[in-house]
Amino acid sequence: MPTEPNSVREPTRLVALGQNTARYLGLLIDYFTQYAKVQIGYRGDFVISLLTSFAATIFGLAFVVLLFRKAPQLAGWTFEEELFLYGFSLIPYGVFNIVASNLYNFGNDYIIEGKFDRILLRPISSLFQILFETFRLDALQGIATGIFCMWWSTNRLHVAWTPGRFLLLIFFGICASVIYVAIFLILTTVSFWFEDRVGVHPPVWNVIAFGRYPLSIYSGAVQFILCWIVPFGLASFYPSVRMLGRAVVPEYAPLVPVVAAVFLALSIFLWNLGTRHYSSTGS
């Protein structure tokens, strides 16, 4: 039986991929628009959550200020350089909070309560629905605060924002955001095998703060964990070093996109494996 030549199949696949991408982009806009309408209807709740989130961010920055009042440098890093690192770390953390808030309570809300059955009945990617069914718009303040910290620091350090540095910020910001989402997606998949209302997120959540400081202040074992096991440090420290133009040995900045791709692939694999393992609650 004659087969279709590759020259014909490839354009067809590209067209199908483009159509599928456009479909999901439209769905993402619809999800976001609907959620924004709900938030507008409850402005008081949104303002309170925004102020609460901003207060938590300011509290973290206040700790950095107090820390450098006691010591002018931290492992060779000045206050301005540390503030740049801290500010950059807020960007992927903010992106993660905006799009992936459902991951934190996935075990309780979707597995134990049985809401995941509803997700699987829809002809849309289950992972897409979990990530974009809700948005934490109050987390935008974290991204804005991070950008302001970086701008203030570079002004004090006389570091110019060239087009190349802007491109690095966007590139590393995306890679770091992927790492954050992928790590917590991997933790979320545990709920498919071990049903627990709290899940395994809380201990790892506390590790995020470790990635907001120079890795050189930690022992070799902690640095290894922050680079290759839960790579919050890799996601924030080495991009900051590259953007600031500092020299560090070893230089792992080129490995940031590689680690992001590996963790993303692993997280999607585990998610697909978990969905196949999932059995309905029957309720």
SS3 77: strand
pLDDT-derived band of residue 5, with 50, 70 and 90 as boundaries? Answer: low
Q: Does the structure show a pLDDT above 70 at 10?
A: no
pLDDT tens, residue by residue, 257-283: 999 999 999 999 999 999 998 887 655
pTM for this model (two decimals): 0.89
Mean pLDDT, residues 73-93: 94
Please report the DSSP string for 223-262 in residue order: HHIIIIISTHHHHHHHHHHHHHT---SS--GGGHHHHHHH
Mean pLDDT check: name the lowest of 31-45, 74-88, 191-205, 252-266: 31-45
Q: What is the mean pLDDT of the chain?
A: 88
More confident residue, 2 or 241: 241
**Coil vs helix vs strand at 281:** coil
3-state SS, residue 74: strand
For the chain, give every domain's residue range: 7-41, 50-277
pLDDT in tens, 40-69: 777 787 788 888 989 999 999 999 999 998
State both tokens at 223. 């640095």
Q: Given pLDDT bands bounded at 50, 70 and 90, which one contains residue 248? A: confident
Q: Which tens digits make up the pLDDT trace of 93-106?
A: 999 999 888 898 89
User: Which residue did the predictor score with more confidence, 20 or 119?
Assistant: 119
* pLDDT value at residue 9: 61
Q: What is the pLDDT of residue 62?
A: 93
pLDDT, tens digit (0-9, with 9 covering 90-100), for 103-136: 988 988 888 888 899 899 888 899 999 998 888 8
Place of tokens 């309780």: 108
Tell me what the mean pLDDT of segment 230-255 comes to: 93
- H/E stretch holding 24: helix 6-41
Of 76 and 14, the structure prediction assigns the larger pLDDT to 76
> What is d(CA 170, CA 61) in angstroms, rounded to the nearest whole number?
23
Neighbours of 242 (CB within 10 A): 18
Q: Can you give the pLDDT at residue 254?
A: 95
Q: Summarize pLDDT for 165-190 with one digit per residue, the tens.
A: 999 999 999 999 999 999 999 999 99
